Chains A and B, each alone.
Chain A
Amino acid sequence: MLESHKKLERNSIWLLIFTVVAVSIGGLVEIVPLFRMETTIEPVKGVRPLTPLELAGQDIYIREGCNTCHSQQIRPLRDEIQRYGHYSLAAESMYDHPFVWGSERTGPDLARVGGKYSNMWHLEHLKNPRSVVPESIMPNYSLLATRPVRTWDIADKMKALAAVGVPYTKAHIANAAIDMQIQTLPDEDPTGLQERYGPKVVPQDYGSGDLGSPTEADALIAYLQQLGTQVDFTTYDPDYELKKAPAK
């Protein structure tokens, strides 16, 4: 056994081949079940791809490194559910590329922050967190409220996401820039936007900048305000629990 292993170690081609084989086994064992487990592949009603404005907001979320201090995963533990709401489902981040679950909670978890505060609160909080939460140690992000959000590459970004499986259609991509604008115009007809992204997307004043020309803060707030709101948990029925429940 050791003698034949010696041969393997002294021949670079064999070493390479067997290294690849060994690593592949590890990879397959870890990855294949994820594609088949009920909890990770369960389709959940209501989950939709982000609107262009929210998508731009997610980019800012990632750029500013929000995920280094804020997690986006509520674990199935009693105290977390007590505080944050229903535990996160895999399906809720199925369209995130990359996902921003985070692993540290210097600040609170944000998986269900959507709808918890008003847009105005978010804006004040981004500009100066201590103006609304005196004990906060979050840095100021007042710069975001002064910078217009980048619109020229949002359609391309959606095209790229469509290539990796996010269900953006041609209509989504063609209307990206206009949808982005409409979402910040409360008095415009939102029919097109809502046809593409669902009736829960309501155009509104996100607080900073002029209506129709959103700032980075607006985009980020739009992103935050939809977090955890897509699945209706009053009707959600976790079918894996029924299938997997052990017969006692």
Chain B
Amino acid sequence: MTEHHEEVDDATGTKTTGHEWDGLKELDTPAPRWWLIVWMVTIVFAIGYWVVYPAWPTISGHTGGLFGWTQYEKLKVDQAQIATRQGEYRRKFHASSFEQVAGDPQLFEFARAGGSVVFKENCAACHGAGGEGRKGYPNLNDDDWLFGGDIHQIYHTIEVGSRSTHADTHMAMMPAFGAILKRQEIDDLATYVGSMNATQPPSVAWVNGQVLFQANCVSCHGATGEGNRELGAPRLNDAIWLYGGDHETLVETITRARAGVMPTWQHRLAPDDQRMVAVYVHSLGGGE
């Protein structure tokens, strides 16, 4: 580094920094004036910001700002805003029974739309985006209901869940027949359950299965396999299967039993949100 002295570059007319490295000199071009002004304005703005908004840390927290702005107050305002916007319908929905909602097309649409949003965020992961279900997770579009497809029953199921942590949860428990029946018996039983509606006994296995069914299954699933919603026992004499109606799956189901879990939504969703989901699910096509 050489001694500092003012020097002007001949070619550009700009001052140099006065440094020289092996004959190379550096121009000291000033920042553009507009840039400098913007920069200074931002500094002034920052000072204003410190005064108006919470900014500097202090020993016991931070400076509060002129208007006491906090994220939490902002949140309250935002939530109040949406509450006012929906308020009229929300209040009406809150005060209406399911029957009244069904009778008021505008209110019904409001509930259905709200329910569909809640459904997509909370229910779709298991029941599918359109409520179509998948293996182990019931289809909500059909008219097969484990615990009832009446809107009040749907609401109750949403509230308490199935085999959930809720004290009043649906608690259907099929025993695992692998420990009760022999392999051959389970095989016969599966043959019968897979084609209960056969008018002519198609095989010996089927007849044996029918006997076993009458001895072991009718107390929950009913004499003709019509199911029992009080117990949450699925209907077996239709073509709708939660885990699959093919022979192999039926053998597995009978041997090990199934116990799908639906969580309780009582504390996760607001009561009116649960009711909206009930309206939505009920409207999907299978509602009774």
A-to-B contact residues, CB < 8 Å: 29-30, 32-33, 36-38, 76-78, 81, 83, 85, 87, 115-121, 125, 131-133, 202, 233-234, 238, 241, 244-246, 248
Contact = CB atoms under 8 A, between A and B. Distances in A.
B58 A133 contact: no
A118 B58 contact: no
A120 B217 CA distance: 26
Interface stretch (B20-28, B70-78, B189-197): B70-78
Secondary structure class of chain B's binding surface, majority of residues: mixed
Contact of B75 (A33, A77, A132, A234): A77
Nearest to B62: A33
B11 interface: no
B126 interface: yes
Given A78-B78, A117-B263, A133-B125, 8 more contacts: A30-B57, A33-B62, A76-B71, A78-B79, A81-B75, A87-B75, A125-B125, A132-B134
Contacts of A241: 72
A118 B70 contact: no
B136 interface: yes
Interface string B136-150: 110000000000000
Contacts of B134: 131-132
Which 9 pairs show the lowest CB-CB distances between chains A and B? A246-B68, A118-B261, A78-B78, A33-B57, A76-B75, A36-B60, A37-B61, A76-B71, A115-B263
A131 B128 CA distance: 11
Contacts of B267: 233-234
A121 B127 CA distance: 11
Contacts of A233: 267
Contacts of B165: 115, 202
B60 A33 contact: yes
A132 to B, nearest CB: 6
Contact of A244 (B70, B121, B260): B70
A248 B70 CA distance: 13
Interface string B258-276: 0011111001100000000
A117 B75 contact: no
Contacts of B67: 246
Nearest to A246: B68
Contacts of A125: 125
A36 B62 CA distance: 10
B181 to A, nearest CB: 22
Contacts of A30: 57
Contact of B68 (A115, A116, A117, A248): A248
